[in-house]
Structure formats: C-alpha cells, structure tokens
Structure 1
Amino acid sequence: MTVGDLGEFGVIGRIAGRLPQGAAILLGPGDDAAVVSAPDGRVVVSTDLLIEGRHFRRNWSSGYDIGRKAAAQNLSDIAAMGAEPTAIFVGLGLPADVGTDWLDALTDGFRDECALVGASVAGGDISRADTVMLGVTALGDLGGRAPVTRAGARPGHVVAIAGRLGHAAAGLALLQAGRADSGELVDAHRRPRPLYACGPGAARLGATAMLDVSDGLLQDLGHIADASGAGIELDPAAFPVTPELAEAGRDLGADPLEWILKGGDDHALAATFPSGVRLPDPWLVVGRVTEGQGVHVIGRADTTGGWDHFRDSRG
C-alpha cells in the first residue's frame, strides 16, 4: 500500500496513531493547532528543512534512520541553547508512491528520537511532493535559565566539545566511495547521536557560548568568534582520532583531522567556559578563546571549510 492509496487524511491518521504525547502537550494532533505548555514563560524555537537528494538518500538511509536524523538535528539545536526539548512539529512532503511501511518507519524514527529527551511529535502538515521533503520545527523550555547564545565567548575562556566529530563526514565519504557496508562510520552518517543532556548541563556549569556542530567545527566556531568579537585557537593534538577514523583515512587516502574539523552532521556540542570551570566527562577541552578574530588551528594554514547549503550535498 502507498500513501497515495491512503489519501491525505488516511496518512494523517496513520501518523498520529503512532505518536504518543508527553506531559508538555496539552492538545496534540487533530485540531487546527497544538497547545504546548511553557512553564518558563519563554519558548526556544528552531527549524530545519531536509530535502531528498540534498540532505539524505533513501537508498542510503532507511525511513527510520531519516526520521531519527531529522529529529536529532532539531533537538540538538534546542539543547545547544541550554534548553530542554519539549515538542517537534513536522511538515512532510511525499510522492504518492511512497510505501506505507516506509512512512511508518519514518514516523517511528521521529517518535523514538524524541523519546530520548521526553519530547513529543505534537503536530505538523503533509502534502504531495515530487520528492521527500521534511520541515521540522522544535520547541524547548529554558527552565528559568538564561539562553546560552553564541555571543558570550571572551579571551581566556576555554573551548570544549561534547560528542563525536568527523564520524558522519567519514561515513558520507565511504558511502560516496561505494562502501555502504562499512559499519560504525556509515551508521554515524545515517543516524547522529547528540549528547542532548550536555546542553542544559553546560548552561548549569556556566557556559558562556554554545552551539550545535552541524556544518563543521571550524565553520561553526567561526560563528561564535564573530558573534563574540573574539578569536578561537584550536589544538589539533587535542582531538582524538578513533581507530575507525584512522582506518577510513587510510582506505580513502584522507586525513581524518579534515573530517573532524570540517565535517558536519555529528551534532556534537561546542561551548566556551571560564577557565576555572571543572568540566565533567564527556566535555573535552580542545582550544581557547583569544584576542583577535576568526578560528585558527595550531600548525595548520587552512582553517576554512564546512557545509554550505547552496554548494554541498549530503545525499
């Protein structure tokens, strides 16, 4: 059976029937709009657009993987503000010949990723489209804390990361080389694993700036440097190169550090902290905030590169 066989309201009913609603959802799918509680009195909002062939390929990733990934990249943005995710809303464009099994898997992927943080898929919209398109909006609650923006880094602060870097980029390179069965790295491209709790945790520790690393560490830290009016210096020796990354680098003739510094899609968190803050695992100090501007890597001249939505493709 396809989504075309079900029709619009059949698809909506099928999706809604697979989505439990959490305590933050006062009114879920089925009305003109949802109602979500906002105990803090402020709502953190982020949105992303994913297009088949640009951000994912159905022959490389299952519907379940795509649902998990689409939810993860939005939930991670909420965590990067120091907030707790509460809900997501999904705009979905589908060709009429998409199978209902694929739709079920996509829905379950959204549901299961949201369950990791206690959030709900609280609503959305659907339409027929020539290719699969996903527009996801996420909401979050600050719990009385100030949001952690990109503008608070100051000279003397340390730069730290929480989460893996370079794995998704290496997995994409393996897929592009025809190595679809290459294990953990390919899985990292298909399904990121953000450390959501580290976002609110960093806010409680006194993080001065923070963001989700989605477009490459160098490019994303450049946003913190620009917003803060400061420079950032990174120590390449501080970044661990896992055996999987090293092996992929040998197989493909690539430098794993390039994936770590310039690859996106892992959705690690990068933050700055006052130098006296004792950071717990998994935070790893990789550099410092300096006077000046831009991002610099000790011993490397090339500090440019990262994802560009009008130039690059992840599918």
Structure 2
Amino acid sequence: MIHTGFPETGPSLGEVGEAGVIQAIVTAAPSTINGDDAAVLTPSTPNSRVVASTDMLVDGRHFSADYTTPYLVGRKAVVQNYADIEAMGARPLAALLAISAPPETPVAVVEELARGLGSMTQEWASELVGGDVTSGERLVISVTAIGSLGGNLDALRLNRARPGQRVVAHGHLGYSAAGLALLESGVRIPASLEPLVQAHQVPEITPGRGVVARSAGATAMTDNSDGLIRDLSTMARMSGVGIDLSSVAIKPDRLLEDAGLLLGIDPWEWVLTGGEDHALIGTCDGSAPVGFRSIGTVSRQQGVRIDGKEPAYTGGWESFA
C-alpha cells in the first residue's frame, strides 16, 4: 500500500520550542551518545579513516506531502547520504540531522521524520547522534553521514576506473524516476506497480555492499543519484576513460515496461536519466563482487556509450534548473 501525507494536527514546533523539538527527535530516534556538545564515535576497525558526506532535502523541491510521509522522507534521507559513504567503500557509523521548519509545523512531522531516520540508521547498525533545529520558511532537512574506511586499501574514488575493467551495479536503475512519474500522473496506480512508487519514496540498497566491493578489488564507485549517464560520465571524465554499457544488462524490466505503457513514456528515459535510485555503480577487475551484476566495460575511448553508440537520453538531475 502506498502511504502519503504529513500530519496537520497536534502541538506545533513554535508551541513546544527548541527544547521540545529536540526532545521529540531524541525520543523518536534514541541514541546513547546523543545529547552532549558533540558525539564521540569509536572507530570500528583498526587503521581506519573518517569519511563524511552531507545532503539536503527541501520541501517542494525534493519531496512533497502529496507523494510521501515524514517517516519515509527520514528513511530516504539516510539512504541517499549513506549511499555516498558506501560508494567510497566505507561503512556508515552515524548520522547528524539539521532541520529548518516553519514554527507552525506540527511536532508530529518532526517525530515521524526522526522515527524514519532512526529506523534506517539501525538497519546499517548505526545511530542518529545529534544535529540542530531552527525556524525557516519551509521544511528543509539536512543529514550529514559519517563513516569509517578501514584497512589500507584505497577509497573507491571517481578517478580510478581503468581500461579493461568490468562495470558493475548493485540496486535498481530507473525505479525511482518511474515511481515519481506514476505519482505525478494522477492515474490510478495498479498494485503491481506500487514497488516503483515505494522505490521513489525510499530507494533500496543493501548495507555493506560498498565495503564488499572494495574488499573484492573494486577501484572506482559512485551512486546513481543524478542519472546513470550523467553519473558515469563524471566517472569517465575524471578517470580519463570511456564506459561502454550493455543494453541487455541495463534494459528496462517488466515493471518499468508496464509503467511506460501506462504513462506513454519510454522506460529507457527513466533508466538512463532518472537518478535517485542510489544504486552503486563501480569498476573492478575480474568477476563482479557479491551482490553486484555486470553492466558494461571500461574502454579507452572517452565518453559513455551503449553497445558502442551514443545514449538515446543523456539528461539528469540539475540542482539549479
């Protein structure tokens, strides 16, 4: 079942004040190391390096109460930030949350948001360990993810793809974009296509896949946040290589084809430009790491191609469009 809508009743943020808002968050997402001036984290592995990333979700830009709930927004915020940590081959350890919201916002919105963040951080064996709250004209959620890169292997950087390597992927391609298109269309969404909507509300990647890939010899990795062609073009440019994708390996599956028929949209557009799936895309020598599948090869001819040809769609997310 698809869930949407934000709470509109109950005490507001302005009525309970900053202390009440913070108490609502720590109650919804409890942590034994949250509550001091800063959280002290214990490295999980010897010879470890700290990895950090941050991302924002803005009401009306990145999410809408018409298409999701605060709980699901919280879960999505963790996935999109932890995917960046995983893409470096690191393990997420903790998250920090900063919220700007109108004073009239019901406290229940923040409580549900924090509950979503707390539930998703737990799935990565991590915690929400602190943050900040303030008033603003619209709801803005900023999550900072902190991770640990253990051992002496290099991080999975964008500039380390090499000719002759295999291109591998973990996670769906095009599902989030298709789910958003279904929600925005206003059509009655068949139960069979609800997984696409759910993938837009909360993308799915398996915790630890980036660590597995790094251990298995992957050298470069990114997460599909801005669109497959756009993100791989960045990797190809920074590595000074080309990437040739296999159309068979990335072709739209039955769910995407059915959604495309329903909406009159070519599902290849979702696969190539959709983004927000946060699928992990990397390069490696030898076989694909456990949990990954092969989708192409790295070549010396710069640019990204599909079966040696230019992609039919090359757009993607643009932050200031």
State the TM-score, normalized to the length of structure 2.
0.90
The alpha carbon displacement at 1:45 in A equals 0.5
Distance across 2 between alignment mates of 1:190 and 1:47 = 19
Tell me if structure 2 keeps the 8 A contact 1:230–1:292: yes
Distance across 2 between alignment mates of 1:121 and 1:146 = 27
3-state SS of paired residue (2:29): coil
With over 3 angstroms needed to count, the CA separation of the structure-2 counterparts of 1:192 and 1:180, relative to structure 1, is: farther
Distance across 1 between alignment mates of 2:259 and 2:55 = 30
Alignment of 1:148-297 (within 5 A): 148-179=156-187, 181-182=189-190, 183-274=194-285, 277-297=286-306
The alpha carbon displacement at 1:42 in A equals 1.7
> In the alignment, which residue of structure 2 is the partner of 1:17?
27
Aligned-partner residue type, residue 296 of structure 1: R
Distance across 2 between alignment mates of 1:289 and 1:200 = 21
Runs of 5+ in structure 2 lacking a partner?
1-10
Tell me if structure 2 keeps the 8 A contact 1:88–1:121: yes
Greater shift in the superposed pair: 4-13 or 235-244: 235-244
With over 3 angstroms needed to count, the CA separation of the structure-2 counterparts of 1:60 and 1:18, relative to structure 1, is: same
With over 3 angstroms needed to count, the CA separation of the structure-2 counterparts of 1:200 and 1:301, relative to structure 1, is: closer
3-state SS of paired residue (1:259): helix
> In the alignment, which residue of structure 2 is the partner of 1:69?
76
Q: Deviations over 1:276-306 (max 9, x none)?
A: x222553111111111211112244545211
> In the alignment, which residue of structure 2 is the partner of 1:129?
136
Tell me if structure 1 keeps the 8 A contact 2:31–2:129: yes
The alpha carbon displacement at 1:102 in A equals 1.9
3-state SS of paired residue (1:208): strand
With over 3 angstroms needed to count, the CA separation of the structure-2 counterparts of 1:194 and 1:95, relative to structure 1, is: same
Identity of aligned residues (%): 40
Aligned-partner residue type, residue 293 of structure 1: Q
State the TM-score, normalized to the length of structure 1.
0.92
The alpha carbon displacement at 1:201 in A equals 0.4
> In the alignment, which residue of structure 2 is the partner of 1:49?
56
Q: Deviations over 1:186-209 (max 9, x none)?
A: 111111112232100000110010
Tell me if structure 2 keeps the 8 A contact 1:65–1:109: yes
Distance across 2 between alignment mates of 1:167 and 1:221 = 18
Aligned-partner residue type, residue 12 of structure 2: T
> In the alignment, which residue of structure 2 is the partner of 1:104?
111
3-state SS of paired residue (2:223): strand
Tell me if structure 2 keeps the 8 A contact 1:60–1:180: no
Tell me if structure 1 keeps the 8 A contact 2:244–2:305: yes
Tell me if structure 1 keeps the 8 A contact 2:251–2:268: no
The structure 2 residue matched to 1:84, chosen from 52, 66, 91, is: 91
With over 3 angstroms needed to count, the CA separation of the structure-2 counterparts of 1:303 and 1:229, relative to structure 1, is: farther
Tell me if structure 2 keeps the 8 A contact 1:297–1:303: no
C-alpha RMSD over aligned residues: 1.6
> In the alignment, which residue of structure 1 is the partner of 2:36?
31
Aligned-partner residue type, residue 23 of structure 2: G
Tell me if structure 1 keeps the 8 A contact 2:170–2:280: yes
The alpha carbon displacement at 1:216 in A equals 0.7
The structure 2 residue matched to 1:147, chosen from 155, 162, 169, is: 155
The alpha carbon displacement at 1:95 in A equals 1.4
Aligned-partner residue type, residue 4 of structure 1: G
**Regions of 4+ moved over 4 Å:** none
Aligned-partner residue type, residue 41 of structure 2: V
The alpha carbon displacement at 1:242 in A equals 2.4
Distance across 2 between alignment mates of 1:29 and 1:160 = 37
With over 3 angstroms needed to count, the CA separation of the structure-2 counterparts of 1:309 and 1:237, relative to structure 1, is: same
> In the alignment, which residue of structure 2 is the partner of 1:309?
319
3-state SS of paired residue (1:7): helix
With over 3 angstroms needed to count, the CA separation of the structure-2 counterparts of 1:180 and 1:142, relative to structure 1, is: farther
